[in-house]
Structure 1
Amino acid sequence: MARNTAIKVSNLTHTVTSNTGNLTILKGINMEIKESESVAIVGSSGSGKSTLLGLLAGLDVNTSGDIFLYEQEFSSQTEEQRALARGQYVGFVFQSFHLLPSLQAIENVMLPAELKGDKDARKKAEVLLEKVGLSHRLTHYPNQLSGGEQQRVAIARAFASNPKILFADEPTGNLDEENGKLIIKLLFDLNQSQGTTLVMVTHDNELAKMCDRQLVMSAGQLTEKSL
């Protein structure tokens, strides 16, 4: 069965202004990712991987070119429109967790579903935290959790709104080997059980090899890696 296109990017560029002048980070990126695919974006530090991920998720605005999420043009929308689209399509796992320190673990996970008006937000959050092995940490605040536990809360939160696309920026970057393996398993288990498109930036070659495809970012340009 033919799969729909989840992400399409056409001639995407991104330029920022620095003290030394304009710096072009992305140079004419073209890519297409099908729904339920898992794709790793690899490359050296400073090559533009995280910038690309942020643009795809609507967290920043590109300089030129087009980004489509499920055939909806995304890049020229207002911040309010992009926020609505993110709520409809996108989950994001940040390397530095980005949990709200004043909220308990369950409240952090409930938040995306609550913002969508889901009356079952708490029940769903409890189920997700159980899946990530944190049913005994529901009422703990982020500063009471280890790094691995915080990352598991962040992953549960990313799935709380049933996103069609999950972006993950170095999801194992701050974790030890044991917690890193657990996070990898969780990402792919949830990806497969919900059919979520998974797009991740990673330096972990073993993690990248587990994905359906690998895209290589080098000097702001993207190429497909032959497997």
Structure 2
Amino acid sequence: MMTNTAIKVSNLTHTVTSNTGDLTILKGINMEIKEGESVAIVGSSGSGKSTLLGLLAGLDVNTSGDISLYEHAFSSLDEEKRALIRGQYVGFIFQSFHLLPSLQAIENVMLPAELKGDKDARKKAEVLLDKVGLSHRLTHYPNQLSGGEQQRVAIARAFASSPKILFADEPTGNLDEENGKIIIELLFDLNQSQGTTLVMVTHDNQLAKQCSRQLIMSAGQLAEKTL
């Protein structure tokens, strides 16, 4: 059954084991994000922002607590089933790109739509790469692109499957001011025109202020920022 709650998190904790013992990165996180909201998660480096984003997207498994996307509880699913949910609902912009080195730019962008069986995958990829200013780089491989160009390819790829929820980890972190503005416009256009839920980690205060909500991560705990 569909609901207007896109993401629900209850008592989420995440602990990792290191040489110096267990380290608890997230401590009892509770949050709810409505469908179509734009949410910025801000906080200092090492506060747990990116860890939380990865858990919300089902890229990692939390230690305890519950995460649900459209009432699908990730905590009770194995990796194969989490992957199916990600494919159905999620787009993700990684800070470190995660492009496939053996695929051209256009092939990287086509991939999510192809996996969904979209027959117009190439045409959509061409449109998206043009929107991010890379129509002249369609057949270039990732190692032939600058860091900023790779980031723009990664952003176009995240848009390709028209996700219901788009997670973005520092989406403008590798871009100059001009390209950063283009990407911000694309992010909020997707959010507003398609009702896509947008959840981003950012150090950019101006970008965070454009979101409908700001959440502050501090020492593994989350709080709503009040104006």
List per-residue Cα deviations over 1:156-214 (Å, max 9, x = no partner).
Answer: 10011111000000111222222222222221122222211000001111110010000
| Number of residue pairs matched by the alignment | 227
* Separation (CA, whole Å) in 2 of partners of 1:192 and 1:209: 16
| CA RMSD across the alignment | 1.9
Superposed displacement of residue 224, structure 1: 0.1
Identity, % of aligned positions: 90
List per-residue Cα deviations over 1:65-108 (Å, max 9, x = no partner).
Answer: 00010111112210000001000000000111111111111100
Alpha-carbon contact 1:96-1:174 (below 8 Å) kept? no
Gap regions ≥5 residues in structure 2: none
Alpha-carbon contact 2:109-2:154 (below 8 Å) kept? yes
Alpha-carbon contact 2:2-2:70 (below 8 Å) kept? no
Superposed displacement of residue 3, structure 1: 7.5
Superposed displacement of residue 143, structure 1: 2.1
* Separation (CA, whole Å) in 1 of partners of 2:3 and 2:131: 28
Deviates more, 1:181-190 or 1:98-107: 181-190
SS in 1 for 2:130: helix
* TM-score of the two chains, using structure 2 as the length reference: 0.95
Match of 1:131 in 2: 131
List per-residue Cα deviations over 1:25-47 (Å, max 9, x = no partner).
Answer: 10000000011110000001111
Superposed displacement of residue 2, structure 1: 12
Superposed displacement of residue 126, structure 1: 1.5
Superposed displacement of residue 130, structure 1: 2.1
| Pairing 1:203–2:203 present | yes
* Separation (CA, whole Å) in 2 of partners of 1:157 and 1:192: 19
Gap regions ≥5 residues in structure 1: none
Match of 1:45 in 2: 45
* Separation (CA, whole Å) in 2 of partners of 1:178 and 1:125: 22
* TM-score of the two chains, using structure 1 as the length reference: 0.95
* Separation (CA, whole Å) in 1 of partners of 2:157 and 2:226: 33
SS in 2 for 1:39: strand
Superposed displacement of residue 131, structure 1: 2.1
Alpha-carbon contact 1:103-1:141 (below 8 Å) kept? yes
SS in 1 for 2:88: helix
Alpha-carbon contact 1:38-1:197 (below 8 Å) kept? yes
List per-residue Cα deviations over 1:104-156 (Å, max 9, x = no partner).
Answer: 11100001111122222112212222222222221121222222222111111
